[in-house]
Amino acid sequence: MSTKPMIAGLAGGVCALLLSACAADDPVVHTPPPSPSLEALHADAQRAAAAGHGEQALAIWKNAAAAYPADKAPWLAMAQFRYERSQYVEAIGYAQEALRRDPQDGQAGRLLAASGLRLSVAAYADLQAQNSLQGATRSEAQDLARQLRASVGEDTPPPVVAVKRALPAKRAAPAKPAVQSGPSDPFGTLK
């Protein structure tokens, strides 16, 4: 028997097999499920946050940010979420991401500014409590406070409020005579 008819028969069988596979009525096509919309992801995250599942809400917003990388909405939601929980460093980072997508976004700008101010006020209070606010640090803090007042349209500094600190108990000092008010006493009219 010759090999030519054998090869021709084998080739014909392979072709028939291939044609029968192509002619199948129900081809199997693997398509990924459609991604949820940004609105659906945001609603899911809000429900999770309202139920007290903050980390789950953040994970959903992060997935939304990855699925819709040009959209600022997930970043704004995460910034607001962190701000409301006094997590200002994280709020600043998320607000900056929103501003990268829309530099004119007012909400992101307000979240960034308010978070930064809250961190600054806390740091300033810590320095005051440690009596470490001296020299150049004090001068710079005063300059920044003046700039902030000017930027919000407040020309005069707010009144100074004295903070009373608890001191160890002392024995009573002997009574002093009352100060006479007159031309040499500039505080006489306040008494």
Report the percentage of the chain scoring pLDDT > 70: 65
Q: Kindly state the helix (H) or strand (E) to which residue 74 belongs, with its residue range.
A: helix 73-84
Return the SS3 of 125. helix
What is the per-residue pLDDT across 172-186, written as a single tens digit (0 to 9) for each? 554 444 444 444 444
Element (H, E) at 177: none
In angstroms, the Cα distances linking 102 to 64, 95, 99, 108, 179 are 17, 10, 5, 9, 64
* pLDDT, average across residues 131-145: 77
Angle at 41 between CA 55 and CA 68, to 5 degrees: 105
pTM: 0.61
Q: State residue 139's pLDDT score.
A: 81
For the chain, the first-to-last Cα distance in angstroms comes to 133
Tokens coding 52: 């007290």
Distance (Å, whole) CA 144 – CA 157: 12
Choice between 47 and 19, residue whose per-residue pLDDT is larger: 47
**Confidence (pLDDT) at 72:** 97
